Chain A
Amino acid sequence: MSVEENRATYGKCNNPHGHGHNYALEVTVSGPVDQSTGMICNLVDLDDCVKSEVLVRYDLDNLNMQKEFSHTVPTTENLCIQIFEILQRTFPYAHLDSVRLEETMMNSFEYAGGDEIRH
């Protein structure tokens, strides 16, 4: 895009010095309840995976410097898709339903890998 088009499309978000968000991430998984544990999966495993695969990678980092955003704009839409794909690759203990990412208290994004969301 041209300089003008970038400014028109992204407004304040086009400032090259960047800006920060306090993102809130919600991960939804589903599966049968294991009879012996009473759990779908161990929440500690899920927490560890989200921490090691997502938070370590993105927390307090400049998203534009990550290789996945070298050719893709780090909109919350694209970040949401990236996080879904990372967790789908790395969390084997339950079915990943969706990833929901709050950019601010007033807006959020959700991706279910192409599945219809009914909630």
Chain B
Amino acid sequence: METLGQENHFHLEIMVYLTRKAEFSASHYYNNPDFTPEENRRIFGKCNNPHGHGHNYTLEVTVKGEVDSRSGFVVDLKQLKEVMHREVLDAMDHRFLNKEVPEFFTKIPTTENLAIAVWQRLKPKLSQASLHRVRVYETPDLFVDFYGEE
């Protein structure tokens, strides 16, 4: 983190944050095998239905970086879109998260864990600008932000 801090300081005046949105639909249910059926029902309520339920998720990915003096870009938006599609949407759109997305074979696919999974998928694939925030809206009223581990 220290290296990143120095980098920020060096490019202090031209750091711009860019946010790109994408939408996807997926289904999930909440169940912890360590809990009893009663506990699962009590803690997760309707979300514990093993047949699952769907959401129209909105994903917002924010990257930060210095503006390239030649192109005027922080990052090529088209490339960012392609990375988001390849790493996240192709794997999660119209999928049953519990059964089809490996992260959720062992973790409960809450919006919190979904934001973390998206971060972990995108982080190693972004080279031009650094990942700043992953925001996942489960519904228009509810979203989770993840800034990576600090």
Binding site for B on A (CB under 8 A): 1, 9-11, 72-75, 77-78, 80-81, 105-114, 116-119
From B14, B21, B77, A105 is in contact (CB under 8 Å) with: B21
Instruction: Check B149 for interface membership: any CB of A closer than 8 A.
Output: no
Please indicate the chain A residues that have their CB under 8 angstroms from the CB of B6 in the complex: none
- Besides A10-B71, A75-B73, 6 other CB < 8 A contacts? A9-B73, A81-B14, A106-B20, A108-B19, A118-B147, A119-B145
| Contact between chains at A107 and B77 (CB < 8 Å) | yes
Binding site for A on B (CB under 8 A): 8, 12-22, 64, 67, 70-74, 76-78, 132, 145, 147
Interface of B is mostly: mixed
| Contact between chains at A107 and B8 (CB < 8 Å) | no
Please indicate the chain B residues that have their CB under 8 angstroms from the CB of A106 in the complex: 20-22
Residue of A nearest to B78 (CB): A11
Residue of A nearest to B11 (CB): A114
Please indicate the chain B residues that have their CB under 8 angstroms from the CB of A75 in the complex: 67, 71-73
| Contact between chains at A111 and B20 (CB < 8 Å) | no
Instruction: State how many angstroms separate the Cβ of A3 from the closest Cβ of chain B.
Output: 15
| Contact between chains at B17 and A107 (CB < 8 Å) | no
| Contact between chains at A111 and B16 (CB < 8 Å) | yes
Please indicate the chain A residues that have their CB under 8 angstroms from the CB of B70 in the complex: 1
Could you show 6 A-B contacts with beta carbons less than 8 Å apart? A73-B72, A74-B72, A77-B18, A81-B14, A106-B22, A119-B145
